[in-house]
């Protein structure tokens, strides 16, 4: 006597089990990880008061200091970009370039008129058009 197995039901049950297991694993974020993510999001919206200090690893001297509602990024291992909101309409960006022996600090002394809600796009038509060399006359 042979017993028939219903493979479509088994496959559906297996797929549902795998989906449930994956859903459970995705939810395994610790409270600290979620809080850290929320703080980073708040800082990107200039909602977090911060003190950012750069220290020379060789001499121990302070090489830069920024304080306020600031967001920072590391575009490379040797550079830190800090954007700060000083008032509802005042933003400044500071760039810190870190080297082995020397460091450079670029500070924005005055704010400029920028929007936190709109992307600024600058098109320069002279860069979009190709450059042509026109030669008129007989070939030699």
80-124 pLDDT, tens digit each: 898 989 888 888 888 888 877 667 777 777 777 777 777 777 777
pLDDT bin (cut points 50, 70, 90) of residue 15 is confident
First to last CA, the chain: 98
Which residues touch 53 (CB under 8 Å, ≥6 apart)?
62, 64, 65
Instruction: Assess contact for 103 and 97: CB atoms under 8 A.
Output: yes
Q: Which residue has the tokens 């400044």?
A: 92
Average pLDDT, the chain: 78
- CA dihedral (77, 75, 49, 65) in degrees, to 10, reads 50
* Upper half-sphere CA count for residue 68 (Cβ side, 13 Å): 15
pLDDT, mean of residues 28-37:
81
Prediction pTM value: 0.56
């Amino acid at each position: 006597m042979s017993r028939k197995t219903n493979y479509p039901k088994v496959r559906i049950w297996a797929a549902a089990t795998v989906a449930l297991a994956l859903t459970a694993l995705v939810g395994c974020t610790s409270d600290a990880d979620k809080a850290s993510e929320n703080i980073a999001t708040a800082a990107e919206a200039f909602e977090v008061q911060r003190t950012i200090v750069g220290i020379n690893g060789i001499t121990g001297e302070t090489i830069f200091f920024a304080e306020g509602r600031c967001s920072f990024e590391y575009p490379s291992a040797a550079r830190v970009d800090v954007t700060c909101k000083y008032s509802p309409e005042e933003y400044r960006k500071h760039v810190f370039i870190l080297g082995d022996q020397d460091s450079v600090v670029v500070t924005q002394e005055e704010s400029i008129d920028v929007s936190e809600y709109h992307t600024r796009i600058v098109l320069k038509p002279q860069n979009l058009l190709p450059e042509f060399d026109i030669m008129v006359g007989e070939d030699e």
